[in-house]
Chains A and B, each alone.
Chain A
Amino acid sequence: MKDFIKYFDKLDFLLLLGISILGIFLISSAVQDSSVNYGLKQSLWLTFSVILFFVIMKIKTDFIFKSSFLIYLFLIIILIFQILSNKIISGTKSWIKIGLFNIQTSEFIKIFIALILAKYLEKINVIGWKEFLQIFIIIGIPFILIGLQPDFGTAFTLLSFFATIFILKKIKKSIILSLLILSLVSSYISWNYILKDYQKNRILSFLNPGKYKKTFNYQSIQSKIAIGSGGLTGKGYKRGSQSKYKFLPIRHTDFILSILGEEFGFFGISFLFTLFFLFIYRQYNTRIQNNRDFTFIFLFTTIILFQFVINSLMTVGLFPIIGIPLPFVSYGGSSLLALFMGEAIIFRINLNNFLLNE
């Protein structure tokens, strides 16, 4: 216990907690006159997440890696079940109802993909066709299932795993070339056969803002106005006209950053970004020697960074609105819970490392 207190990464944990609490404040502002108290709900989720965080930290890392494949399979089965049962809550099929809260399976599967990949890549330095195919299947199956729900935002974030692998490992040139061709073909197919009209319109309005002004680009324009009108210091907490008078769409989830920008201005944005990048920086600079653990930290941190950047760009109209929440800040119990679970594993790895070096 003494060691735990000594080597537990208190600064990182405080950063996480700080960012999450800031999120609760912003959510409360976003839904000022909603009948549902999302701020309170999110605080309950955070409490629950922190408890789970410490519970998971108790579990041995090896055990987690060992059982990761089983849980992965279990989650895949749930995903299939969800698609088949056609349970529609809030427009998409990605929610499965448990008690009072809604659980989003796709948020959790990210952790286990990262765990499996890390374990698999432990012994591999050069990725050939065989290895690539296996990685492709591990990521591809949930990718397709999540995409079918349809939750393109979450599916899209899974692609960041490829990016991490490309950075960490050596890959055959022929694979890179085929991937390029594959992505072109698949985007053609998904445009013509898979994407729904409203999704196409969102992308079109992003590429050609003038033409789709009033309808599909409306959310993007209002978000830009919110952020831009915040200025250097912002309009004050709960005093942003864009959010208060409901010009901002989906304020408490995907556009939570717009509220920060409107009510706390550039200072508020810089504050959050600094906290976040400090946290990311510290995660990447881990001193772990174990190849497996190291890969997991990289995979998981990159997916968080990826979501963070995409969401930021989305709020200023530099990326299509595809439904990616801001990690730790946006409202959403599943997302918060999954993030804390993943972080618990990372914190445990780092703790192990210190105890080992002792």
Chain B
Amino acid sequence: MFTSKKNFSPEYIHKKSNIINIIILLIYIMILFIFWNFQVVNYEHYKNLALMNIYDTVKIKAPRGLILDKNNMVLAKNRINFSLFISISRSKNINNTIHNLSKLLNIDEEEIKLRINKYKEYPPEYPIIIKRNIKLKTVIYLKSHKNLFPEIEIKLEPARSYPFKKIASHILGYISEIPRTFLKKKEFKNYDLGDLIGITGIESIYEKYLKGKKGEKTVIKDSQGIIKEELSSTPSISGANIHLTIDFELQKFIENFLLNNKGTVGVVDLSNGGILALVSKPNFNPEELSSEISYKKWLEILNNPDKPLTNRFIQGIYSPGSVFKIVMSIAALQEKVITTNTFYNCFGEINIYNRTFHCWNSFGHGMVNIYSALEQSCNIFFYNLGKRIDIDLISKYSKMLGLGQKTGIDLPNEKIGLVPSRKWKLKRFGVKWFPGETISVAIGHGQLNVTPIQILKLISTIALRGVIKDFHIIDYIEKDGKIIYKFKTKERQLPIQKKYFEIVIEGLYRVVNKEGTAISAKIEGLDICGKTGTAQIISKRNVNYKKLVKKGKFKPHSWFASFAPRNNPKIAVVVLIENGGNAGSIAAPLASKIYKWYFNK
């Protein structure tokens, strides 16, 4: 603009100073206009952004409901523990942080990295839980060296405690961090990553009652997510308490009795179908699984050949063995295949369909009818029934009496088992049923597979003379002293004549009280009725049978299904000892101890 003039002297520029001043004024106005636009025109927009920066709602975890036994003994409760969180945004060097944490908490660096990685979709200031249940020593160290670890935060959190450790672990289950895949589902919309959720047992099945309702805090936080001020809060609402039908003293008694045996025991109160005890061994320590368990430890438990996480009572699949003779008896009587006057002669073995079938007693039982056949558990008698009753009819009665289907007990992942039929075989293998197979099924072998709880259902239905009662482990749910749910037992009568039940019960009475297979269970003055069973794991016809069985691993499982007293029965007990061998010498005496304990208390 000054290029037209040859001499750019100060005088010349002074003359043109108006132009310079106008330029300065324009810059002044322009900049003010820009700020006006930000601070006045778009004020609301930026005000909200500023508020969004600092306001946050923090969830307050709710204490979980308690789990109690029928005598109000607390089986699962809450304690306070120290949990360690880190915020990535506050870490100067994340690799250093991981290294320090690894040394401090004695966790693999890889495991911490995996953990942090789980939260990669979360903002960097989100507190990531690294370990629960921190040792007090570590807490004190961290608190006194706070400035060294600005990224670490220690919070007090409610944690689960199972005061009796392993006892009743399969009933209670355990809690663990909610799997990431769950979070996307609608039913888990109230959960956040890092929240604990019931994984098995009562903890899982009554999760929605136990978990309670989270509280909320409105806070002001700084750019690193550090809470500076608390504005308001809605307190959390603790979960409801679950009262079980379990009698913890009985449960403990049985668990201590079983010691290191593998096996399972169930006791049911016949007046209402409530489970009094449910033992499965080996079991686990739910407290260990509910805290931060290392991946290595977890694999160790998962790969344990004894499967401590399997609740054998509802998830173990076994041949019912001779216990199944009860079903055969009911079917034969109701279908009028036999009467109490029907006798078969037992020579120790029998040839059916060109195959030789053996009785367990190779000397033979002589002439047997239904009473003595049950009492002695004579195979020959039931082979004969297998010849005369069609497999589909056997299947029908098995299912009627509760086998091959879920009992509906309020525990997760109950197995179904298998009751074979013609239709099933055709569908499964594409071939038709051979009558010879029915002979094996008749003594509880062959394709037949049941869970111990199904056997408990069977023996209970027999004890109640055809009345089926739903099993349950929950009694009622209570919140702040008010009962919000109470289990109501439903029952129905089977279309089987009562007199046939009386006949079978007489047989079962003799098993324990006359010359039967479970004479070892007899208690004077208490009419225990029961049936032993020996479930072969490998065929007796295997050439190496004797050698393999000696090794123990292939020793047959022993069953004892029973109830007492004979009239107006109070409880039913099913015992299954894996590789227990002769039922009369191990399963039956244990049942007897349970009755003694129960009726003498």
Contacts and interface: CB of A to CB of B under 8 A. Distances in A.
A286 to B, nearest CB: 9
A266 B39 contact: yes
Interface stretch (A46-54, A67-75, A289-297, A337-345): A289-297
A239 to B, nearest CB: 12
Interface in B46-96: 46-47, 49-51, 53-54
Given A273-B32, A290-B10, A245 B21 contact: no
Contact of B46 (A224, A246, A305): A224
B40 A232 contact: yes
Interface string A257-295: 000010001100110010001001100110111110010
A241 B43 CA distance: 15
A178 interface: no
A123 to B, nearest CB: 12
A113 interface: no
Nearest to A290: B10
B31 A273 contact: yes
A231 B53 CA distance: 17
Contact of B47 (A229, A277, A280): A229
B17 A285 contact: yes
B568 interface: no
Contact of B13 (A125, A168, A318): A168
A134 to B, nearest CB: 18
A316 interface: yes
Interface string B577-593: 00000000000000000
A305 B221 CA distance: 38
Contacts of B32: 269-270, 273
B43 A228 contact: yes
Interface string A239-264: 00110111100000000000001000
A104 to B, nearest CB: 26
Q: Which of B40, B46, B221, B224 has the most CB of A within 10 A?
A: B46
A167 B19 CA distance: 12
Contact of A287 (B14, B20, B51, B223): B14
A227 interface: yes
Interface string A284-314: 1101111100100000000001000100110
B5 to A, nearest CB: 8
Interface in B174-225: 220-224
Contacts of B551: none
Nearest to A289: B10
Interface size class of B (residues with CB under 8 A): 35 or more
A229 B278 CA distance: 64
Contact of B39 (A261, A288, A290): A261
Interface string A209-229: 000000000000010111111
Contact of B49 (A168, A225, A285): A225
A265 B8 contact: no
A246 B222 contact: yes
A324 B11 CA distance: 34
A125 B2 CA distance: 11
B9 interface: yes
Contacts of A289: 10-11
Q: Which of B10, B14, B32, B54 has the most CB of A within 10 A?
A: B10
Given A273-B31, A273-B32, A316-B35, A225 B11 contact: no
A294 B10 contact: yes
A291 B35 contact: no
B449 to A, nearest CB: 57
Contacts of B223: 222, 245-247
A224 B43 CA distance: 11
Interface string A70-82: 0000000000000
B34 interface: yes
Given A125-B7, A170-B8, A246-B222, A229 B43 contact: yes
B23 to A, nearest CB: 9
A230 interface: yes
A97 interface: no
Contact of B34 (A232, A245, A281, A318): A318
Given A170-B3, A228-B49, A269 B39 contact: yes
Interface in A122-171: 125, 167-170
B21 A277 contact: no
B40 A266 contact: yes
Interface string B218-251: 0011111000100000000000000000000000
A169 B47 CA distance: 47
A284 B21 contact: yes
A231 B8 contact: no
Nearest to B47: A229
Contacts of B31: 273, 309, 312-313
Given A246-B223, A287-B14, A228 B6 contact: no
B42 interface: yes
Q: Is chain A's binding surface mostly helix, strand, loop or mixed?
A: helix
Contacts, number: 124
B36 interface: yes
B548 interface: no
A280 B438 CA distance: 109
B220 A228 contact: no
Contacts of A280: 24
A224 B38 contact: yes
A288 B13 CA distance: 11
B28 interface: yes
A281 B21 contact: yes
Given A125-B7, A309-B27, A316-B34, A228 B39 contact: yes
A228 B42 contact: yes
Contacts of B49: 225, 228-229
B550 interface: no
B137 interface: no
A284 B28 contact: no
Contacts of A229: 43, 46-47, 49-51
B45 interface: yes
A232 B21 contact: no
B591 to A, nearest CB: 67
Given A125-B6, A291-B9, A231 B47 contact: yes
Q: Which of A225, A228, A265, A266 has the most CB of B within 10 A?
A: A228
Nearest to B220: A245
Contact of B45 (A228, A288, A290, A313): A228
A266 B24 contact: no
A241 B48 CA distance: 12
Contacts of A125: 6-8
B47 A242 contact: no
Contact of A228 (B1, B17, B47): B47
A126 to B, nearest CB: 8
B8 A169 contact: yes
Given A231-B43, A245-B222, A291-B10, A284 B38 contact: no
Given A228-B39, A228-B42, A285 B21 contact: yes
Given A228-B42, A261-B35, A284 B50 contact: no
A305 to B, nearest CB: 8
Contacts of B40: 231-232, 266
Given A222-B223, A228-B46, A241-B220, 14 more contacts: A222-B53, A225-B50, A228-B49, A232-B43, A242-B50, A246-B224, A261-B39, A265-B39, A266-B40, A277-B28, A284-B20, A284-B21, A285-B20, A287-B14
20 contacts: A168-B8, A222-B53, A231-B47, A232-B40, A242-B53, A245-B220, A245-B223, A245-B228, A247-B222, A261-B35, A273-B32, A281-B24, A288-B10, A289-B10, A290-B10, A294-B10, A294-B13, A309-B27, A309-B31, A316-B38
Across chains A and B, which 10 residue pairs bring their CB atoms closest together, nearest first?
A228-B46, A229-B50, A245-B222, A294-B10, A266-B39, A229-B46, A277-B28, A246-B223, A228-B38, A247-B223
